Amino acid sequence: MTRIPLEDNFDDVINKAQRGLRLDDAELSRRAGISAAALRALKGGTYDDGAARAVAPVLRLGAGQLAALARKAWYPETVVFPRGFAMFNTPYEDMTVNSYLLWDPRTRLAAAFDTGATCEPMLGAITAGKLTVRYLFLTHTHEDHVADAARLAAATGADIYSSEREPYPGGRTFREDQTFHLNGLAIRTLLTWGHSPGQTTYFVTGLAWPVAVCGDSMFASSMGGGLVSYEDQYRNDVEKIFTLPRDTVIAPGHGPLTTLAQEKQHNPFFAR
């Protein structure tokens, strides 16, 4: 697969944190002790180390991680699964979106997670691998993640599932901390809401490494915007994702795969 860019640049992270904390420019520049012009330049994508390091603690961001992001000095190490895992990255408007297919290698029973803009590549993998898809799990119901859900369900016979807090028309719902099984795989639901009312992370065990399919809860070097609640999105990430095993592979809704160990070291929102 072509190397997928990080979802957010340093200025995206700064703007996302500022919006989430509800600080206007005047208040942020006052607290950081920098001029309005310096703040405008920083938010517009012109990196200045002094201004960034002044703003970072006010926005609860790691200054060193923010600087590394600006310099493009870090990218997550590639994670390769020997079997049972496939990632799909499809274009949607001016971005790309991820979807995933996980399966038990012995029985070839599978679960799909989101669809991206199109499920065509996933259907090809299902056919080639002779997989039986039992479930289509939705991390949340924003259009870029579920654009082809009806088609995938119809083609595979899979049941569509989403959180009871964010039902999908015609689908089934689950409560938090419910576990589904695919022979050797266990799939546990973690409610990591904040980006959307029912944003869910699926914690999957039984493959070479544990996997957290987290939708827009977090990304490599960033986190999802708190469209419903920034504080709750942050809290849920800390309490429910960052307490998982360190070798957990983070499978986000946008951007490349990463690991929890790498995010604890490199993510500006969490590595302070």
Torsion of CA 51, 44, 196, 252, to 10 degrees: -80
pLDDT in tens, 235-265: 999 999 999 999 999 999 999 999 999 999 9
CATH topology of domain 10-71: 434 Repressor (Amino-terminal Domain) (1.10.260)
- Residue 180 sits at φ, ψ, to 5 deg, of -110, 150
250 and 257 Cβ atoms separated by less than 8 Å: yes
- To the question of domain 85-266 being in CATH 3.60.15.10, the answer is yes
The whole-number pLDDT of residue 2 equals 77
The answer to whether 10-71 and 85-266 have equal CATH topology is: no
DSSP code at position 118: -
Work out the average pLDDT over 92-112.
97
- In the predicted model, is pLDDT for residue 272 greater than 80? no
Interval 214-229: pLDDT, tens: 999 999 999 999 999 9
Task: Centre a 10 Å sphere on the Cβ of residue 128 and count the other Cβ atoms it contains.
Answer: 8
The pTM score is: 0.97
Tell me the domain boundaries of the chain.
10-71, 85-266
In 47-171, DSSP assigns E strands to: 85-92, 95-103, 109-113, 132-137, 159-163
Checking if the pLDDT of 165 tops 80, the result is yes
pLDDT at 1 over 70: no
List, for residues 9-39, the tens digit of each pLDDT value: 999 999 999 999 999 999 999 999 999 999 9
